[in-house]
């Protein structure tokens, strides 16, 4: 990579420079452990925006913090499943996993009617295949075509629970608007996060998984690592679909407890640590078990 192809500085002040990429590569080569909280800090604004968007369109008793916690779990799952050798950008892949986990959280709490769940499963399947094939998010028109329905029918049946965005769709507030394209890495640039995803997260996930029962581990492995549906898992384990959902929901609660020690620091600290090439994140002191990881509310946007 020469200086002419070096990626320019993004709006958040982070430069994906050659030095940063080389440092990430070196860390992976030496198997040096890295704090997954660094990646969480980078993606947390996206997670919060998606959680706020879904919560705003659903009953007031739906807790945005529960959705945020589910999104964090989805991000960790994306880290372990992402294949840098494919055309799909990690930001694109992670956004699907984050949104999908939040929808699963809503499903486990029965906020989504069965008809909508069925359509959501269909949308997720065709969208995942599209992303893997084309390396980008599908538009609503493309999803409708893949499902053999009109856009009006798609919107009506899905109740907008799984609104998938074009890379050029505007997101954020009016003063801080951006598009997903702004977040997707340059095709000619190596993603330093993708280089270390497995080594950074496998240890954390393995530790959290140890707190699950054998059946809960089976459900998590089959759903997130083998790509099976709840129905398919039920057939294999001799459970009803609703039974699998209950096991899945309990597994998520335990995983959140296992991840509570990883505190997300303010964005400024993240920028400093990236530029210096070292982590400034610290583990939080031991706290009573809660249903979600600890995050600083002051670092969150006030408005979606």
Q: What is the pLDDT of residues 38-59, one digit of tens each?
A: 777 788 888 888 888 777 766 5
Least confident of 20-29, 76-85, 99-108: 20-29
Least confident of 15-19, 55-59, 154-158: 15-19
Considering the domain architecture, whether residues 229 and 98 belong to the same structural domain is answered as no
Considering the domain architecture, whether residues 185 and 107 belong to the same structural domain is answered as yes
Residue 237: give its domain's CATH number.
1.10.10.10
Residue 157: give its domain's CATH number.
1.10.1740.10
Q: Does 211 have pLDDT greater than 50?
A: yes
Candidates 186, 123, 190, 115; CA nearest to 157 is: 115
| Under 8 Å between Cβ of 281 and 38 | yes
Angle between helices 151-158 and 140-147 (to 10 degrees): 90
Q: Does 267 have pLDDT greater than 80?
A: no
152 three-state secondary structure: helix
Distance CA 43, CA 184 (A): 12
Considering the domain architecture, whether residues 136 and 54 belong to the same structural domain is answered as yes
What is the residue range of 75's domain?
A: 34-196
Distance CA 16, CA 6 (A): 8
- 239 or 36, greater pLDDT: 239
What torsion, rounded to 10 degrees, do the Cα atoms 142, 146, 148, 153 define?
A: -50
Considering the domain architecture, whether residues 57 and 115 belong to the same structural domain is answered as yes
- Residues 151-167 have a mean pLDDT of 56
Q: How many independent structural domains does the chain possess?
A: 2
Residue 25 lies inside a defined structural domain of this protein: no
How much of the chain, in percent, has pLDDT values that exceed 70? 49
- Residue range 70-86, pLDDT digits in tens: 888 888 888 877 777 77
HSE-up (13 A, CA, CB side) for residue 160: 7
Q: Does 208 have pLDDT greater than 50?
A: yes
Residue 63 lies inside a defined structural domain of this protein: yes
Most confident among 221-235, 250-264, 274-288 (mean pLDDT): 221-235
Least confident of 12-16, 153-157, 168-172, 233-237: 12-16
Considering the domain architecture, whether residues 138 and 39 belong to the same structural domain is answered as yes
124 three-state secondary structure: helix
**pLDDT on residue 285:** 38
């Amino acid at each position: 990579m020469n200086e002419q192809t070096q990626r320019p500085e993004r709006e958040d002040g982070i430069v994906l420079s050659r030095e940063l990429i080389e440092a990430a590569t070196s860390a992976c080569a030496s198997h040096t452990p890295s704090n997954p909280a660094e990646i969480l800090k980078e993606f947390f604004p996206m997670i919060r925006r998606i959680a706020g968007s879904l919560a705003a369109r659903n009953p007031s008793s739906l807790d945005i913090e529960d959705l945020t916690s589910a999104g964090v779990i989805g991000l960790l799952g994306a880290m372990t499943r992402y294949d840098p050798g494919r055309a799909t950008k990690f930001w694109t892949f992670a956004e699907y996993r984050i949104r999908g986990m939040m929808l699963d959280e809503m499903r486990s709490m029965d906020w989504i009617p069965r008809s909508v769940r069925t359509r959501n499963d269909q949308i997720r399947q065709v969208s995942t295949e599209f992303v893997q094939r084309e390396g980008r998010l599908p538009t609503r028109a493309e999803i409708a075509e893949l499902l053999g329905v009109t856009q009006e029918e798609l919107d009506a049946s899905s109740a907008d629970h799984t609104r998938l965005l074009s890379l050029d769709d505007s997101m954020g507030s009016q003063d801080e608007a951006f598009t997903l394209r702004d977040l997707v890495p340059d095709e000619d640039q190596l993603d330093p996060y993708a280089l270390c995803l497995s080594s950074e997260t496998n240890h954390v996930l393995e530790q959290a998984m140890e707190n699950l029962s054998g059946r809960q581990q089976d459900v998590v492995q089959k759903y997130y690592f083998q790509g099976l549906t709840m129905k398919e898992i039920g057939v294999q384990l001799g459970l009803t679909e609703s039974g699998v959902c209950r096991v899945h929901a309990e597994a998520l609660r335990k995983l959140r407890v296992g991840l509570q020690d990883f505190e997300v620091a303010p964005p400024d600290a993240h920028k400093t640590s990236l530029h210096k090439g070292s982590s400034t994140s610290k583990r939080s002191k031991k706290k009573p078990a809660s249903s979600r990881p600890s995050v600083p509310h002051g670092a969150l946007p006030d408005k979606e």
